[in-house]
Structure 1
Amino acid sequence: MELFGMPLETMYLYGLVVSGAVTILYLFFGDVLEGITEAIPFVNPTLIFSFVTIFSAGGYLGETFTKLQSVLIAGASAIIALILVTLLNVFVLIPLSNAEESLVYKESDLRGRIGTVITGIPVDGYGEVLIENISGRISKPAASFTKSEIPYGKKVLVIDVENGVLQVKLYEELETYI
């Protein structure tokens, strides 16, 4: 069968090459399109490019290696592409977007956290504090908020963050009596 005076195999092959090239360009310049696609939340360029690539590849292989009707090949390619793109979205893209957001923290989020001194903090100098959380460990420079020396291994409470330096004071646990 021909479309626009060209065999369908050639059309599928052109679609495959163009969508593959556009996908590679999107990898390099995707940040430019991200602002545009935020206005339309249901349009994801990754899914569109993946669908066109899989559809074109399936159509090309179907036209080249089978003797089925072209409409049947196009329908089967579209169904297979839709299933694979849905699986890609559900099992790869959505978990990746959620994981990316969960690992991000702001310095202001560190206020009120408890850490351990890993490099002693002198009276008028800097040391280092390790803060542990669910997603990992954060090591930050620290200075004493109360202008007192804090030795290695002590627990500290983060009071404030100024210019990337934690302002900490010695953490005193409250004892509870029953």
Structure 2
Amino acid sequence: MEALFWSCLAGGVLFALVSVILGDWLSLALDGALDFLSMDGHKVFQPTAIVSGITVFGGAGLLLHRYTGTSPTSTVILAILIAIVAAVGMYFLYIRPMERSESSVGYSIRDLNGRLAEVLVPVPAGGYGEITLRIGGGVTHHIASGYEGESIPAGAKVVVIEVNAQEGTLLVSKVDF
């Protein structure tokens, strides 16, 4: 029984060390060959949560085996319960908050309605120019034309009136502040 607990504890510690120290390099070197380890299913079954549960099972089993007078069956059952609590705790206290803290700089062109921009390349009457918009922490450039076909000089402030998603162009109108 003690060998099982030691194996679980050592395997979990080894997994943690390898994933922290060599995780990115190993994934890059193997060109995603280990991607099957990230399970598709319920989010609670993350490899990190499962391995932390196995590690805690080994550690709790060793402590219960050595320092309590419980039977081997009771020791395994208690160690499994402690491991489940630890794995669920790992998910809710670490993994889930980390997943929610990730932010995306992605946006949809349809979200640009009403945004203020600046003309980078002049928009000729009935033609196309280029505008620059600030989105999040970045800057993006888009092809634009005058909403009413008017010409707009470079450096002018404009507002996006309409988005033509099929053509990928923005219809803009000059704004005077």
Provide the TM-score with structure 1 as the length reference. 0.61
Unmatched tracts of structure 1, length 5 or more: 174-178
Instruction: Output one character per residue of 1:26-63: Cα deviation in whole Å (capped at 9) or x when no partner.
Output: 955463333xx22x436433322121011112222333
Corresponding position: 1:78 with 2:77: no
Change (3 A) 1:56 1:81: same
Any idea what SS the aligned residue of 2:12 has?
A: helix
Corresponding position: 1:149 with 2:149: no
The residue number in structure 1 matching 2:49 is 47
Percentage of identical aligned residues: 14
Paired amino acid for 2:83: A
The residue number in structure 1 matching 2:31 is none
Corresponding position: 1:20 with 2:20: no
The residue number in structure 2 matching 1:110 is 111
Paired amino acid for 1:108: I
Q: Distance in 2 between matches of 1:160 and 1:138?
A: 22
Q: Distance in 1 between matches of 2:140 and 2:159?
A: 13
Unmatched tracts of structure 2, length 5 or more: 28-33, 124-128
1:14 Cα offset (Å): 1.6
Provide the TM-score with structure 2 as the length reference. 0.61
The residue number in structure 2 matching 1:140 is 140
Change (3 A) 1:94 1:31: same
Q: Distance in 2 between matches of 1:67 and 1:92?
A: 30
1:84 Cα offset (Å): 2.2
